[in-house]
Structure 1
Amino acid sequence: MTDADPARTPPAPPASGPLVPAAFLDRDGVLNRDVGYPHREQDLELISGAAEAVRLLNRHGFFTVIVTNQSGVARGMFDLDQMNAFNALLVRRLQVQGAVIGAVYACPYHSSAIEDRWRHADHPDRKPNPGMILRAAADHRLDLARSFMIGDRPSDMEAARRAGIPGFLFQGPDLNLFVADLLGV
């Protein structure tokens, strides 16, 4: 993690090999319940079927990537360390259930940030912009032609459109049933 890229925490990308399809997943409202700026351990409640859905994506060869706007940092509700700790906790909770998240990209920037370092009128990573998706694709040799996004907001769908991938709007109640239907299994 660098100052230029404070919210990026992916593992090292493969140096070579074929491109891999990805499933880009929004965080709050898709993987975990959106309780209003979740950032503490007690805020983490997985969406019904979340672990099963990620396992299904893993089994079907999709590299799973969380792409999440986190304006709570910019708004002073929690700091970058708390955001990263919550993201890591979510990844661990899924992993304990056999569900592997390949990378997490989070955008803490917002146009009305209380700290100058997080203020940006239209950061390329903040959805509906596609920056997190495009960086993940470059970092991990992802095949956007075989990838898609699952989100719960119009900004997620717009980010997918701008990245040139299909976007699917999840509105509950069970992520595994939703993903199984998408994959036709």
Structure 2
Amino acid sequence: MKITKVDVMQINEPVDNPGWRPIVCRIYTDSGIYGDGEAAMAYGVGSTAAYGMIQDLAKLIIGMDPLENEVIWHKLYKSTFWAQNGGPVVFSGISALDIALWDIKGKYFKVPVYQLLGGKMREKLRCYASQLQFGWEETKRAATSLEDYVAYSQKAVDEGYDAIKIDFLTFAPDGHRYTVRIHQST
């Protein structure tokens, strides 16, 4: 099996969440199996850097065996000067491709990826309700008051969550989104 093509897609910024631009990739093989991955730089400034990094790295893996994900990871790491010293952009790109390779491997062997990674360790896993400043409903709605935070938190608790995460500095009380402003000297 060989890698034949890699598509990299920058998802358009959702109207209800400016600054959120997921970068995803799909690796195709000559056997018809494909795998999907995502760069972890979707929030804020930087997603376009991850998009470009994946495009650059993808060229290096065409023709390789996707089941040799460790070989591919090391090739990507050693093929760029920038990976040698770390950094979020290059590792976000490598990670997106690596996730897609694990997806291919799971499909090829017809097992969940967690089995390939050593097996299930727990029957239950605690998780938390995250990003409640965007509401806890089907569509996003800004939390701008203490009452909003309490209502969204109560909805999450009612669904069984016992921990939450909220960024209280996303929206101002009047509903506008806080942004970083760069002041220019004249």
Query: TM-score category by the smaller chain?
Result: under 0.3
Question: Please, what TM-score do these two structures have when normalized by structure 1?
Answer: 0.24
Higher relative contact order (CA 8 A, sep 6+): 1
Question: Please, what TM-score do these two structures have when normalized by structure 2?
Answer: 0.23
Radius of gyration: which is bigger? 2
